[in-house]
A and B are shown apart, each in its own frame.
Chain A
Amino acid sequence: MKPFDYRTATDMGTAVAEVSGRPDARFVAGGTNLVDHLKLGVAEPDLLVDITAVTSAAVEDRDGGLWIGAGVRNSDLAADRRVRERYPVLAQALLSGASGQLRNMATTGGNPLQRTRCVYFQDVTTPCNKRVPGSGCSAIGGYTRYHAILGASEHCVATHPSDMAVALSALDAKVHVLTPEGERSFPFVDLHRLPGEKPDQDTRLQHGDLITAIELPPSPFAQQSRYRKVRDRASYAFALVSVAAALDVADGIVRDVRIALGGVAHTPWRAYKAEQVLRGQPAEVASYRLAADAEMADARALDGIDGGNGFKIPLVTRTLVATLRDLT
């Protein structure tokens, strides 16, 4: 680990100025991802600006929705009555992630910004385009069990590991950001980007942009939502695949639907195609299957040692169908 300076931020504006002014400075919130990366040598900052004291730790009712401060811990958010009642998909996603201890540390701002769990990304002795642009991708032809089936590029096939982010994608959440130029907000689904030629960039944030809050819009049917995570052990494991879904059914017909997938792409994957196919269709398994197939039409399995990841394609289909069926 390289030595670094550490400062406790005094306010958000100063924090943004400090980090944006220094290319190797970083924010630290819960530290559960960043401190891990410091030890692995994956991140080598020269300054850490601790933002836990200045980002809001409050969940507030705003305009019929919820406004979640970036400093709210994952455990507090999952325990929040309003989240449990009005956005169960989010509470479930949070509770399916990591462990009790980690959720007590992890923050609303840090969670969506955690980086891929690709084993090669985390191992500085192996080539990885995300860590060292241009060095190559060790995962292609390697261990791909946790890797992408959608939206990957020849430069990177990693997946985004967050559960919370999948739920937020399905909920049409908004991200509030403080930049050196001022405040800005945009849809959560635009936060992450596909790897393309620049897999080193996970998101569309600029260096020094600070997430200040996540906003959940009011939703008449988020109450009818569910998060289903499929993993290799019963707890304390990242998703192989996951499905976040909210379903609005009237008279046996799908009036509206939101679907996002986890463990399948470089971003939480909003399943627009499946949603499109479903609207107006009978709320039954046959429709769900068509929707899943539509979304999976573009899926590409990766070969690799230990069997590759082709199993994920049917797994997503089956999990998506089951999740929608259970919501009906």
Chain B
Amino acid sequence: MTELLRPQAIGQDLARRDGPDKVTGTATYANETPVENPAYCHLIQADIARGRVSAVDTAEAEDVPGVIAVLTPGTSERLSSTEDKELAVLQTTDVAFRGQIVGIVIAETPEAARQAARLAAVTCSEQTHDVSLSADRVDLYKPDKVNPSFATDTSVGDVSAAMDSAAATVTETYTTAMNHNNPMEPHATTALWNDGQLTLWDSTQGVHSVRSTVAKVFGLDKGQVRVVCPYVGGGFGSKGTVHAHVVAAAMAARALPGRAMKLALTRQQMFSLVGYRTPTIQRVRLAADRDGRLSAIALDVVEQTSRIKEFAEQTAVAARMMYAAPNRATSHRLAALDVPVPSWMRAPGECPGMFGPEVAMDELAERLGIDPIEFRVRNEPARDPESGNPFSSRHLVACLRDGAERFGWADRDPRPGVRRDGDWLVGSGVASSVYPASRQAQSDATIRFADGRYAAEIGAADLGTGAWTTLAQIAADALDVPLDLVDVRIGDTDYPFASVAGGSSGTSTWGSAIVAAARAFREKYGLDPADGDEAQGQVPEYQAQERYALYAFGAQFAEVRVHADTGEIRVPRLVGVFAAGRIINPRTARSQFIGGMTMGMSMALHENSVLDPATGHVVNHDFAEYHIATCADAANIEAYWVDESDPHVNPMGSKGVGEIGIVGTAAAIANAAYHATGVRVRDLPVTLDKLLPGLD
């Protein structure tokens, strides 16, 4: 147990500190840093999915007025480390996926750079590529582990025997589509190499991890690299690791010392260069007795990775701990394809992994004639089925009950396809959410005092999560001073080391470091510090991890309407109730929840990166064709939480709120679509063509 802070600033409903700068557009993002006389980079990309670059003829490109240089595999610097093949930019002539960087144009203007990139003649010898994922490929393989370090397969008891003897079972295959993070701010890096010092203004979820990665790739000392990023225009995971364009920008800067290089990816380029969520094929088996007690849960997942770098999404891990079934089995198999490297996308693992099983739960509840909420309640485990540890707190049932009340679930007629309001078929659905309450092992913070004000410094990132504001609240309570006496300084490697904003661990990790620093500060200087006083602190060891199962939970309720003539599908109402520890700032936390739910709705109804097996690339690679929800799709989303304060997670008693909102949403919507129409769609996204054949 940790000593919990007495919440004063924590828990207050506060406007974002960066609000005024954002509503006037004066907050500066990576590509907007004012730099003297910048040059502009544009990437040249491979238009084959597998093969070899035999020649890059840059003559015509170099003739474009304003072009300064064209870097190619033949002319670029040799990198110090090429261990990470995704980052080995221009180090080889091999092409491993369509869209791979095969050249960099540097020019005086963005127009010239772009024109020249178009004129560079890349000749390739093409080999047959293979980008098709399927569950019956013979070359599927078992990775050593799945992200970040989970067992690939698990098996407890005997699922097959349980299936054979059960009163009711479900055996179905579900699929989720390839999805792209698509933060609104395209990935961008401004790079300057000056006197042996590399400065990167990079749009990133973690300045320190960019620094260590880039230092390693270029063989520099960490001290030679500074990374700055005060504002991030969204990331959802894609800015959580360094991608190739960052290396490209740094390379360009090193080729032209003293000149700042601006490199912003186009929206289209983001579909091949900055990661995506792998499509998944999920075979689910559930078995239960007549009373709705699960005897077996099994989830076998097939997904993809790239040939050059393994990324094994931990899709099945949630099924290991979610419900009390004595017989459990999970597995992950990968197909290594000629595709870009998959990467982190909001709630990796849990988000796709709670689709198949949560729809299957709905199917089994129906088969048993039990209300789907009741069915879930009956399968609440007393302890984590996987580790046997107690949950530090688990309020899934409270979320389900509270949500049912708010949503108006009580009088629900379970029969599918029987409600109609004008031209619309109406239905409702529910699903559970879960996300680990994690904390990173390392993060440091400094508290400084000057002119009567305190400053908390930590190289953290605010990608819209509210860190600018919530870290101030935490520091204020840790120092026991009014909030308006506290400044926060983040987004710069000049501040103490901070872990990446990912896995919903940011606030927990950085907040713990700030609390440690504040406690050290008070210990050192008491209540009456002098100007210039400062103290450091670091995140303590997460001892609770050994003894408890640490998770946030939630329940999502969707109302779905399907047009009886056209099959168009709308979600006029989505209600989520979460148990995520103590809420530091209700206003920003609510935004995180509804933001996740909105993205979950978008995943349920719209998002689908169409990978053409013939060309080998995602052909709907822009915002006109890759649909994400608009305001008209997602204007009515409600998020609530149940009171929960977990003394085991951290001194704030808080769990992460950034990802859980997207977990379960798609299942709730698919379940509601079934309830509306009687058509069970098991493949995301749920689009009208999948519903039409079942409508009268």
A interface residues, Cβ below 8 angstroms from B: 1-3, 39, 41, 117, 119-120, 122-126, 138, 141-143, 230-238, 240, 305-307, 311, 314-315, 318-319, 321-322
Q: Does B625 contact A (CB under 8 A)?
A: yes
Q: Is the CB of B613 within 8 A of A232?
A: no
Tell whether A143 pairs with B566 under 8 Å between CB atoms, given A117-B624, A123-B619, A311-B692. Answer: no
Which chain B residues border A143 with CB–CB below 8 Å?
A: 610, 612, 619-620
**19 A-B pairs, CB-CB below 8 angstroms?**
A1-B111, A123-B619, A124-B118, A138-B614, A141-B614, A142-B614, A142-B615, A142-B619, A143-B610, A231-B568, A233-B629, A233-B633, A234-B570, A234-B632, A238-B624, A306-B608, A315-B689, A318-B565, A322-B565
The listed residue (B111, B114, B606, B612) touching A233 by CB distance below 8 A is: B606
> What is the minimal beta-carbon distance from A46 to any residue of chain B, in angstroms?
13
User: A305-B610, A318-B692 known; 14 other A-B pairs, CB under 8 Å?
Assistant: A1-B114, A117-B624, A119-B620, A119-B625, A126-B615, A138-B614, A231-B568, A232-B627, A233-B606, A233-B630, A240-B688, A311-B689, A314-B693, A315-B566
Q: Is the CB of B606 within 8 A of A232?
A: yes
Residue of B nearest to A238 (CB): B624
B interface residues, Cβ below 8 angstroms from A: 47, 111, 114-115, 118, 423, 565-568, 570, 605-606, 608, 610-615, 619-622, 624-625, 627, 629-633, 687-689, 692-693
> What is the minimal beta-carbon distance from B189 to any residue of chain A, in angstroms?
21
Tell whether A41 pairs with B614 under 8 Å between CB atoms, given A117-B624, A119-B620, A315-B688. Answer: no
Residue of A nearest to B619 (CB): A119
Q: Is the CB of B689 within 8 A of A305?
A: no
Which chain B residues border A237 with CB–CB below 8 Å?
A: 627
Q: Is the CB of B612 within 8 A of A142?
A: yes
Which chain A residues border B606 with CB–CB below 8 Å?
A: 232-233
> What is the minimal beta-carbon distance from A239 to any residue of chain B, in angstroms?
11
Q: Is the CB of B630 within 8 A of A235?
A: yes
Which chain A residues border B692 with CB–CB below 8 Å?
A: 311, 314-315, 318
Residue of A nearest to B614 (CB): A142
A117 to B626 Cα, complex, angstroms = 13
Q: Is the CB of B565 within 8 A of A319?
A: yes
Which chain B residues border A321 with CB–CB below 8 Å?
A: 565
Q: Which of B566, B621, B627, B631 has the most CB of A within 10 A?
A: B566
The listed residue (B47, B566, B608, B629) touching A322 by CB distance below 8 A is: B566
> What is the minimal beta-carbon distance from A128 to any residue of chain B, in angstroms?
11
Residue of A nearest to B624 (CB): A117
Tell whether A230 pairs with B568 under 8 Å between CB atoms, given A119-B619, A314-B692. Answer: yes
> What is the minimal beta-carbon distance from A96 to any residue of chain B, in angstroms?
11
| Closest 4 pairs between A and B when the two form their complex, measured CB to CB | A311-B689, A235-B632, A234-B632, A322-B565
A319 to B613 Cα, complex, angstroms = 32
Q: Is the CB of A305 within 8 A of B613?
A: yes
> What is the minimal beta-carbon distance from A108 to any residue of chain B, in angstroms?
22
A143 to B626 Cα, complex, angstroms = 13
Which chain A residues border B689 with CB–CB below 8 Å?
A: 307, 311, 315
Residue of B nearest to A312 (CB): B689
Q: Is the CB of B624 within 8 A of A230?
A: no
> What is the minimal beta-carbon distance from A298 to any residue of chain B, in angstroms?
21
Tell whether A125 pairs with B47 under 8 Å between CB atoms, given A233-B629, A235-B633, A236-B630. Answer: yes
A36 to B608 Cα, complex, angstroms = 23
Residue of B nearest to A120 (CB): B619
Which chain B residues border A235 with CB–CB below 8 Å?
A: 630-633
